[in-house]
Amino acid sequence: MDVMPEAILYSFRRCPYAMRGRMGLCASGLKYEHREIVLRNKPVHMLEVSPKGTVPVFIKSDGTVIEESLDLLGYSLEVYDPFGWLDCDLEEAQRLISDNDGPFKHHLDRYKYASRYSEDANRGDTDLKHREQAELYIANYEKRLGTSAYLLGDKQTIADIAIFPFIRQFANTDINWWNSSPYHQTRDWLDRHINSELFIKVMQKYPLWQS
């Protein structure tokens, strides 16, 4: 009898998109081979199956490739959703995630990596301006979390899981500022996620994969 090959995940530990995908895989209990990479030296096989060259890249045992983090999160939860992350207003969840992945991520990148963007290269205060723009979304979370434990109510949902890795990146850009910022509820919400048993598990370190 032929044995189906094991699924494969190409991942980079610190990437928030990869974190999002790993959260879904870990929650669902799906089995796969973890291949830890560095983005400056991407494996040939990964680029063959996903030329866009970003992580996560998940190759199912039947050869189907999932190369978007939200698709991987959704696929994992369709297999098994033990925490009921999909038990929510999915339209509202998608709206929050779209804001996170679109305008918030735009400002996050220019806050964290201001020197990478040529239009900002000679403007020393631009990174702070982008932080201020990103704060508009944080303020919305703060308002929501002032009345409930999670973004869509008193139950953790796919919105929380998809968004918190990016808020973690935002916070770590200037952790002293973040710790003294007025976003007390959002800090508590973030801390609960990053100190969770599941997140600690998905953040375990793997040796660099070699072909």
The CATH topology of domain 90-196 is: Glutathione S-transferase Yfyf (Class Pi); Chain A, domain 2 (1.20.1050)
pLDDT score for 127: 87
Output the pTM of the full model.
0.93
Distance CA 55, CA 41 (A): 13
Residues 21-28, mean pLDDT to the nearest whole number: 98
Please, is 153 exposed, middle or buried when counting C-beta atoms within 10 Å of its C-beta (0-12, 13-18, 19+)? Answer: middle
What average pLDDT does the structure give for the chain?
94
Instruction: Map out the domains of the chain as residue ranges.
Output: 8-82, 90-196
The CATH topology of domain 8-82 is: Glutaredoxin (3.40.30)
pLDDT (tens digit, 9 = 90+) per residue, 89-130?
999 999 999 999 999 999 999 999 987 775 644 555 678 999
Classified as helix, coil or strand, 208 is: strand
pLDDT score for 114: 81
pLDDT (tens digit, 9 = 90+) per residue, 56-72?
999 999 999 999 999 99
Rg, C-alpha atoms of the chain: 18
| Token pair for 140 | 């919305």
| Token pair for 61 | 């045992």
CA angle 23, 25, 29 (to 5 degrees): 120
Torsional sign, CA 193, 199, 205, 211: negative
Largest interatomic CA distance in the chain: 64
